[in-house]
Structure 1
Amino acid sequence: MTENLPVYGPTTVFPADQDTRGDVIVRVAFTLSRTQLATALSVACATTGHDAAHMAVDEIRTEIEGYLAATGVVQADEDARQAPEQALTAAIARAYPPPPAPAALQSPLYRDGTVVLQTLDHGDVTVIEPHWCTGHDDDTVGRLADITHDGPHVRAGASTSRHGYVDIMDACISHAPFGDQPEPDPVLSLRVDVEMDATPEDARKVAQGLRVASLRLDRTADEVERLRGGGQ
């Protein structure tokens, strides 16, 4: 039974090989007697030349954990020389999945009314670039279905005494022509949200912010309606 045992560590992470970049961190917990702890510390001190009587607590724990880690790594290296490779790679990938590759930024090429974008599933594609789109320089490379045109953001908020500035509305013209559910026309991408415990003064400031948000939202909706009707 180990549920009532005191737990210490890990104090640090030990590289399996100083000259090789690790792929994962595997944490292992040992149950050890005090005799085993003393033995591990004795071997570690003999190897490093440290004097246990003058070591800090973290140094003692690091030496013991390092001894255990080194023993396991040495044995793993010896076993690796004999282990068959077939079927191991898939098992390791299943148990320790590799991290996803970092997303690459787009390198858009703008032309007269179009833009060339990179996709993971269709390579380079040339798509119509609406005049209201703010561009794709900060987009990451994804699927063709992920390509979205976004216009300038229209925001509204309120400056409250208790919570500082509170963002109330964020809206923009948006169009995802190749999405999993393709949008034949631009839409209004919209977020309206406010949640707080407000004083009467702050509540009135929020109310004023909502009125401003309503006016800006009406104007943006009118612009989307004009674009959906074929306006330029």
Structure 2
Amino acid sequence: MIVAALAIFTVLSFWFFIYMPGKTLSTILTTLSIVGVIVSSWFIVVNWKDHYGMKQETVTTTKFIYPTSASEQMSPLVYQPIGSSNKHQVYVYRTSADAKKTVHTQADAATKNKVVVTADRPYLEVKTTRWVYKSGAAKFWFGISGQNKAFVKRTNTFHINKDWVVLTATQANQLKKQMGNKAAQAKMKKEGQAYVTAQVTAAMKQDPTMSKAKRAELVKTATAEFQQQAIKKMIAGLK
């Protein structure tokens, strides 16, 4: 509507100046119309430049996430640094356990990514901030500008548990190669068996009457612990 007001005041100023009878009345009405042109133009500029009549609105959405590769040994959250300063990153994840394709976060300067550790099921929290009109009147006057829902910023917060590991794309590829090495697999298997045996032996000394089911559960827990420790050791050696 503000654009329509500008057009109307422009036409009126021309008409009053050229066709309005009576010099005094013509001058007054022409001046008022020109003031209307100036004021309308000013409001158009401040709405476009400073978002006059608008406010920032933040909408939060959440969704469960899954690691980029299905593995009992680890759950990776992979990211790719953008630029040499690593100020911005693109994170890669899956939206379902059986998804064949991965998805990634937005690659722009207005998007920030954070990772926090939680005990809950891993999920992604997205906070998106956009410009919206403060009132119906503001929308009436400036709706034609196309500024409504204009994007401001976005924050992606990945809530992952302790079973997940955060790796760069390069590190993920290096780790995949190491874990696929047969010699490394044999060494890890041997060390894992020794670790599990030691854990079970120590537990049996404290509880000689431990049931078979309890021993099986202990073996499962000790195996998972060793795998996590071994992977952390591998990751520590990655560049």
Q: Same fold (TM over 0.5)?
A: no
Larger-gyration structure (1/2):
2
More helix by share: 2
TM-score normalised per structure 1: 0.22
More strand by share: 2
